[in-house]
Amino acid sequence: MTELRADIKCAIRNQVSQAVDETLITDIHTHIYPHTFEALLLWGIDELLTYHYLIAETMRYLDMGYEHFWALPKRAQAELVWKTLFIERSPVSEACRGVLTTLEKLGLDVSKRDLEAYRKFFAEQKVDKYIDKVFELARVKCVVMTNDPFDDTEIGYWLDSRQRDERFRAALRLDALLNSWHTAVPKLKEWGYNVSSEINSQTVSEVRRFLVEWLNRMNAVYMAVSLPPSFAFPEASPRGQLISECILPTARETGKPFAMMIGVKKLTNPALRLAGDSVGKANIDVVEYLCANYPDVKFLVTMLSRENQHELCVAARKFRNLHVFGCWWFLNNPSLIDEITRMRLELLGLSMTPQHSDARVLDQLIYKWAHSRRIIAEVLTDKYADLAAAGWQATEQEIRRDVGALFGDNFWRFVG
Ligand code: RAT
Ligand code: ZN
């Protein structure tokens, strides 16, 4: 293999960057909503600053009690984050940098460090037009939401027939059902499902009725759950029984994938609330067991621990009903995206979805995708350069096809 000339690599980089920048993305896991979901849609500078990633970072520098922080109004929390992470020290963390990228791409002058000016800009935006602007700047075509029928606020928006926004697709999130069955039971009963704490045949058929009704009501593209590192299957627990008797049969019958987000240790520090979750290495055998024993069920899987990434790729080589996606949460950092994306391309070729944004605040689509795009483009450049060194020059059209696959086409093909 000959060494590739620098100008050829540069030409490849230009072609790849252009394709990566211009391809409109399907963002397959987010926590944002259309504006018809009113207060559920978070946007603007105070929401950006009170992102739970930034709260965790802020609290490391403060002596203030956690409860004292939570008792502050959101504006005051945002001001404290701004002062602590942006003014008193340089905002080098990925989540801090993200705020700056977002403001800068919105045309604001970050060099001024002028929180009030940023607030004024957001106060002048009309939310529906602003959504268009963010989607345009992020070059995102559509997003998949996280939709929890056990969330009292969210449920109302699904039960009335307000107009849907096709850019926002639903995912039926089942953490409450699978991870806290005892709290799900009274709610299911209240909604008219004839269930009991014991998972007997009546309960199984009623939970399946619940799943199908909600999949239809939301027109959901998949079912999803976040799972602890200790996740085991098969298992005699309510979760194990519900997965085997309700989720998997429903996934098979409806053709909807079951998305498993594995490796979160909930509330390691409960005082930090949403910012208090941590990570642990999970057991890949569980993923392999499910894929092997349920070949007619589609599994979308992301794992939170860096240590699980290699074996997850190997598992996906063995099972085509397993679609690996995203660099989730604590992995959504440049050095890790680079490493994980390289490894996935080397082991899986283009048969995966390298990233999702996990945006909780609308505006985050701008920075999460700007940052990820840059890294993915660089990794792809190296890969196409390696091919060129072997005498295989990918055409512009081929590069665009491949980027399209990574940024949504693979996902839609898998979903069916
Ligand atoms: O990344 C996050 O914001 C986490 O808090 C979680 O939402 C995680 O992505 C999840 O979907 O459970
Ligand atoms: Zn998420």
Specify the ligand 1 atom closest to the Cα of 173: 11
User: Is the separation of the CB atoms in 42 and 30 below 8 Å?
Assistant: no
Percent of the chain residues topping a pLDDT of 90: 97
Decide: helix, strand or coil at residue 293.
Answer: helix
Decide: helix, strand or coil at residue 163.
Answer: coil
Above 80 in pLDDT, residue 265? yes
Tell whether the torsion through CA atoms of 7, 11, 13 and 17 is positive or negative. Answer: positive
d(CA 269, CA 56): 10
Q: How far is CA 309 from the centre of its chain?
A: 16
Q: Which residue out of 28, 29, 31, 144 has the highest number of ligand 1 atoms within 8 Å of its CB and is therefore the one to mutate? A: 31
pLDDT digits (tens, 9 = 90+) for 336-377: 999 999 999 999 999 999 999 999 999 999 999 999 999 999
What spacing in Å lies between the alpha carbon of 29 and ligand 2's midpoint? 6
Which positions ≥6 away from 346 have C-beta within 8 Å? none
The whole-number pLDDT of residue 2 equals 64
Q: What type of residue sits at position 66?
A: Y
Residue 14 tokens read as: 């230009």
Within 319-395, where are the H helices? Answer: 334-348, 364-389
Residue 150 tokens read as: 């056990």
The whole-number pLDDT of residue 26 equals 98
CATH 3.20.20.140 fits 6-415, yes or no: yes
What spacing in Å lies between the alpha carbon of 20 and ligand 2's midpoint? 23
Mean pLDDT in residue range 40-69:
98
Using omega within 30 degrees of 0 as the cis cutoff, is the peptide bond preceding 234 cis? yes
Q: Which of 250, 265, 297, 271 is nearest to 416 (CA)?
A: 297
What spacing in Å lies between the alpha carbon of 39 and ligand 1's midpoint? 19
pLDDT digits (tens, 9 = 90+) for 140-194: 999 999 999 999 999 999 988 777 899 999 999 999 999 999 999 999 999 999 9
Above 70 in pLDDT, residue 218? yes
Q: Which residue out of 269, 358, 360, 361 has the highest number of ligand 1 atoms within 8 Å of its CB and is therefore the one to mutate? A: 358
Residues near ion ligand 2 (CB < 5 Å) are 358
Above 70 in pLDDT, residue 1? no
Specify the ligand 1 atom closest to the Cα of 53: 3
Residue 404 tokens read as: 């399209």
Above 80 in pLDDT, residue 52? yes
What spacing in Å lies between the alpha carbon of 413 and ligand 2's midpoint? 22
User: Any idea which residue has 């392999």 for tokens?
Assistant: 288
Q: What type of residue sits at position 122?
A: F
Q: What type of residue sits at position 324?
A: V
pLDDT digits (tens, 9 = 90+) for 90-100: 999 999 999 99
User: Is the separation of the CB atoms in 223 and 171 below 8 Å?
Assistant: yes
Name the packing angle between helices 364-389 and 6-22 (round to 10°). 140
Q: Which of the ligands is closest to the CA of residue 264?
A: 1
Residue 16: band (very low, low, confident or very high) from pLDDT cuts 50, 70, 90: very high
Q: What type of residue sits at position 41?
A: L
Exposure string of 28-66, with b = 16+ CB inside 10 Å and e = fewer, is bbbbbbbbebeebbbbbbbbbbbbebbbbbbbeeeeeeb
Q: Which of 302, 307, 343 is nearest to 324 (CA)?
A: 302
As a whole number, the mean pLDDT across the chain is: 97
Q: Which of 298, 263, 269, 300 is nearest to 284 (CA)?
A: 263
The whole-number pLDDT of residue 43 equals 98
User: Is the separation of the CB atoms in 305 and 279 below 8 Å?
Assistant: yes
Strand positions, DSSP E, 149-234 = 168-169, 171-173, 222-227
Type and span of the H or E element at 261: strand 258-262
Residue 395 tokens read as: 């055409």
Q: Which residues pair with 299 in a beta bridge?
A: 258, 322
Percent of the chain residues topping a pLDDT of 70: 100
Above 80 in pLDDT, residue 205? yes
User: Is the shortest distance between the CB of 360 and ligand 1 below 6 Å?
Assistant: yes
pLDDT digits (tens, 9 = 90+) for 27-47: 999 999 999 999 999 999 999
